[in-house]
Copies of this chain bind each other. A is one copy, B any other.
């Protein structure tokens, strides 16, 4: 279903040739058309086949981006923004060809406003680069989607990850952003005040728009004080349901948990095997608490009591940095550990998100589906938000297996939607989830299409993603 229905975008060969000529002359070495560089800019961690752009502009300024968009608008040529290429649903593919605008060299920190707990950065900076820059300020940027993604890319897909249960997602953490729109103009969506009621929320409209409405060139994001103390640990549970009940009670009790991550039995086996660990091989929660010395102790103890109530535990936790690092390294390696379960296979990493009251049911039904279909597919999840991932390992050379994986993903998405959840909590729609958006939001997609048509009437901004080219 997902793989089969990727939208086609018509190629405009003449326009592309003209645009390439103009950009080559204007940018010299900063504009590349060699095959391997173009291939790198379509090659994502996605299972979706690469569709390579016709040229790559390495932008170093807002003006470069504006100029490139104007040239492409004139020639009716697609532009596809590129950060680090770590997105998972084919966001950087070029189904109709066109120009990839690589923003990775636009990675400066433009301002740190410590008193306001915010900073303004260029879109190409990665979250690790930003946190490295901030290391002496006592502040940090918490959002961590796993990959060392660029902030512009994270905003474009409305990314979140392990810390979102406490600190929110990109939706809550961007105060303002600047973007080059389809007409080549630069718009700053908001001033730097923490709140505003001034007009339509253009900031939130661009966040999650995956480059289909504008190309984000800079962002003002919230920062947080590095917590005085951190505690964390792993807690085994007798069942998926017990683990999920513990999550619900933890959130309901108002424990300000910073991370609460689920790994299922197969996931735990893969972590142990990949990282040479000896964690219990059943459903587990990985936790982290931020606060004062007394606070993180209290939070960990309260969680231990909750776990005990549902037959889980013992909850072994620590405040020692090295031990915590080891634990979270294992969790962050879940993707690679999962891939190692079946060497040579391609990984289809998909995500859904449901109200947490439905989480146990959704994961349990999904595990049953995996077993019934004979798939190899570990599950991990940011369960404090009701969000989980399945990594389906498949042999791309076996059409039957690919079809089976597609069927599984389709059922998973429809299951989440039927539980009042979403077909994607954090990966985005891209190309892979387009068939499900209509099921999820019905007439809402028509209004999205109208907005797309209004802001990108030529349909040049990352066409073939989310809702595809606006239809007249």
A355-B194 contact, Cβ under 8 Å, with A204-B171, A448-B202 = yes
| Residue A353, interface by CB 8 Å | yes
Report if A205-B205 is in contact (Cβ < 8 Å); known contacts: A192-B421, A197-B427, A198-B433.
yes
B355 and A202 contact, CB distance less than 8 A: no
B197 near A158 with CB under 8 A, answer yes
- Taking a contact as CB atoms under 8 Å apart, the answer to whether A424 and B172 are in contact is no
Q: Is A441 an interface residue (CB 8 A)?
A: yes
- 8 Å CB interface, A75-118 against B: 113-118
How far, in Å, is A380 (CB) from chain B's closest CB? Answer: 15
Residue of B nearest to A172 (CB): B172
Number of identical protomers: 2
Residue from B118, B189, B248, B466 within 8 A of A199 (CB atoms): B466
Q: A204: nearest residue on chain B (CB-CB)?
A: B204
Stretch in A249-257, A303-311, A318-326 touching the partner: A249-257
- Complex interface: stretch among A44-52, A270-278, A367-375, A451-459: A451-459
Report the Cα distance A222→B107, complex, angstroms.
36
- Selected from B225, B437, B455, the residue in CB contact (under 8 A) with A450 is B455
Name the residue on B nearest A384 (C-beta).
Answer: B194
Chain B residues within 8 Å of A115, by CB: 248, 252, 355-357
Among candidates B114, B425, B454, residue contacting A196 with C-beta atoms closer than 8 Å? B425
Determine whether A7 belongs to the interface, using a CB cutoff of 8 Å to chain B. no
Structural contact, A225 and B254, CB atoms closer than 8 A: yes
Could you tell me if A420 and B191 are in contact, using CB atoms closer than 8 angstroms? yes
B residues less than 8 Å from A73 (CB atoms): none
Partner of A385, one of B195, B422, B433: B195
Residue pair A453, B454 in contact (C-beta under 8 Å): yes
Is A445 part of the contact surface with B, judged by Cβ < 8 Å? yes
Q: Considering the chains assembled together, what is the distance between the CA atoms of A462 and B173 in angstroms?
A: 31
A181 and B204 CA atoms in complex are apart in Å by 20
Q: If the complex has contacts A115-B248, A450-B455, are A196 and B444 also in contact, measured as CB distance less than 8 A?
A: no
Size of interface on A: residues with Cβ below 8 Å to B = 87
Docked-complex contact B387 and A202, CB < 8 angstroms: no
Q: Is A35 an interface residue (CB 8 A)?
A: no
A209 touches B200 (CB 8 A): yes
With A196-B353, A422-B190: A201-B453 Cβ-Cβ less than 8 Å: no
Q: Are B199 and A353 in contact (CB under 8 A)?
A: no
Q: Does A208 contact B (CB under 8 A)?
A: yes
Please give, as numbers and ranges, the residues of chain B lying within 8 Å of A65 by CB-CB distance.
none
Contacts known (A191-B422, A251-B117); A441 close to B208, Cβ less than 8 A: no
Please determine whether B160 and A195 come into contact, CB atoms closer than 8 angstroms.
yes
Is A169 interfacial (CB 8 A cutoff)?
yes
Residues of chain B lying within 8 A (CB to CB) of residue A153: none
* Chain B residues whose C-beta falls within 8 Å of the C-beta of A342 in the assembled complex: none
25 A-B pairs with C-beta separation under 8 A: A115-B356, A116-B355, A116-B386, A117-B251, A157-B197, A158-B197, A160-B195, A168-B172, A169-B195, A187-B442, A187-B443, A192-B420, A193-B385, A193-B416, A193-B420, A193-B422, A194-B385, A197-B425, A197-B427, A198-B440, A199-B467, A200-B452, A200-B466, A225-B254, A450-B454
Nearest 5 A/B pairs, CB to CB:
A204-B204, A454-B454, A115-B357, A196-B422, A193-B353
Known contacts A169-B195, A187-B447; can you find 6 more A-B pairs with CB under 8 A? A113-B355, A160-B195, A196-B422, A199-B437, A451-B451, A454-B454
Binding site for B on A (CB under 8 A): 113-118, 157-160, 164, 168-169, 171-172, 181, 185-202, 204-205, 207-209, 213, 224-225, 227, 248, 251-254, 353-357, 385-387, 416-417, 420-429, 433, 436-437, 440-445, 447-448, 450-455, 466-467
